[in-house]
Amino acid sequence: MSPRRSAAEAAGTRTAIVERAVEVASTQGLEGLTIGRLAADMRMSKAGVIGHFGTKERLQLAAVQAALDIYRREVWEPAAGAQPGLQRLRAVCDAWISYFERDVFPGGCFLTAASCEFDDREGPVRDLVASTMRGWLKTLAREVRTAVERGELPADTDPAQVAFELNAIAMGANQQIRLFHDRDGLERARRAMGRGLGGDY
Amino acid sequence: MSPRRSAAEAAGTRTAIVERAVEVASTQGLEGLTIGRLAADMRMSKAGVIGHFGTKERLQLAAVQAALDIYRREVWEPAAGAQPGLQRLRAVCDAWISYFERDVFPGGCFLTAASCEFDDREGPVRDLVASTMRGWLKTLAREVRTAVERGELPADTDPAQVAFELNAIAMGANQQIRLFHDRDGLERARRAMGRGLGGDY
DNA sequence: CCTACCGATCGGTAGG
DNA sequence: CCTACCGATCGGTAGG
């Protein structure tokens, strides 16, 4: 029925598979993601799906990478144009809240879910999730440092501490929304983030 | 080889199975928990294991209940004797940090993991996890309210907001420890909780 | 990209 | 509490 495709067509198919994989994994987890189910969703054979990746682990890695791209586009880029320091930090928080508000992933924050799922394992998936999360915390801390240097935050502010707190609040908001279906968690997160960024947020 | 046991022996076996199930689920997740693996760990047959519960779902529910008991014993009870209000709140936070410090569950906070795993599903397991989490947040909020009434926290303090923030910080600490193997997360959490409880913590 | 197949494991049951 | 078994599904491969 479906003959071999051109390289361009194959790349498009691969992209479509990864997109679906991200959606499924955000609700079912990266292990709950199965090749058989993905094949059914894509109306392909299992061999057709796995042929693009080789192993399930490489499919999982591709899904994490794709989720990271979405994260960058939805949370970082909307704030990238703001002035470095406190203004950009506030823009990031706004984009972050908005990202939760718009349910960018059908199953909530992909990275939080992947972190919880893989935090006790070993291997490349865990390593990628950890380094991605670490990179995000460093990005936040760098922005806090800039804000301190600019005199926008108190001189004794600990950038890594603020980054930790902002990220924890985001995880808390994700839980309120997903586990309790409580959208008020967004307003709670906004207030909590504001307290961490000088109170006049 | 192993004949039928007395009711007391059967209850002991069941307790031992649930204990092991909690350990496995804290690292592998409640779905990653399989009857076959549990049977091998217990040196029993699969039928012997599942006979105590009927279905995997009821085994999962038993594991969540058992985890809740551990939570109560490790985090709540050490603080229950403290004076209601800010003192008890601080005692709870100390016990909470200590619970992370001592790695009470081999795979980190059971409830955080269960929340991430089931927050997009439906059914009794999700409902039990959600109501347990809700109960914990209410317990925290009640204590904050008492502290406000006693004049130990500012009158305009929002108890539910403080409960949300304390819980979010705990999730952040859990991530630092499990995903990054960074024990400094405990000190970060201590400082962050202190800021939420009046700064002079 | 397909069909056809592999061994392993899943949750669960029958019957003792 | 066991043995023996069920159908379903898992990740993955061979060969085209």
Question: pLDDT per residue over B142-158, tens digit each?
Answer: 999 999 999 999 999 99
The confidence score (pLDDT) of residue B7 equals: 74
CB-CB neighbors (< 8 A) of A167 in chain B? 172, 175
Ranges of chain A with pLDDT below 50 = 1-2, 200-201
A178 touches B: beta carbon within 8 Å: yes
Q: In this structure, what is the dihedral angle of CA atoms A60, A65, A69, A71, given to the nearest 10 degrees?
A: 60
CB-CB neighbors (< 8 A) of A115 in chain B? 175, 179
Tell me: the pLDDT tens digits for A90-135? 999 999 999 999 999 999 999 999 999 999 999 999 999 999 999 9
Nearest DNA or RNA nucleotide to A3 (CA to C1'): C1
Looking at strand C, which nucleotides approach a protein CB closer than 7 A?
1-5, 9-15
Place of tokens 């406000």: B148
Q: What is the mean pLDDT of residues B190-194?
A: 96
Tell me: the pLDDT tens digits for B45-94? 999 999 999 999 999 999 999 999 999 999 999 999 999 999 999 999 99
* Extents of the domains making up chain B: 3-196
Question: How far apart are alpha carbons A58 and A130 in whole angstroms?
Answer: 16
A16 touches B: beta carbon within 8 Å: no
The confidence score (pLDDT) of residue A11 equals: 80
A134 touches B: beta carbon within 8 Å: yes
Nearest DNA or RNA nucleotide to B53 (CA to C1'): C12
Question: How far apart are alpha carbons B94 and B89 in whole angstroms?
Answer: 9
CA of A5, C1' of C2: distance in angstroms: 12
Radius of gyration of chain A (CA): 19
B23 touches A: beta carbon within 8 Å: no
Which is it for the CA torsion B81, B85, B86, B92, positive or negative? positive
The confidence score (pLDDT) of residue A200 equals: 42
The matching CATH number, chosen from 3.40.50.20, 2.20.25.90, 2.60.40.1120, 1.10.357.10, for A3-196 is 1.10.357.10
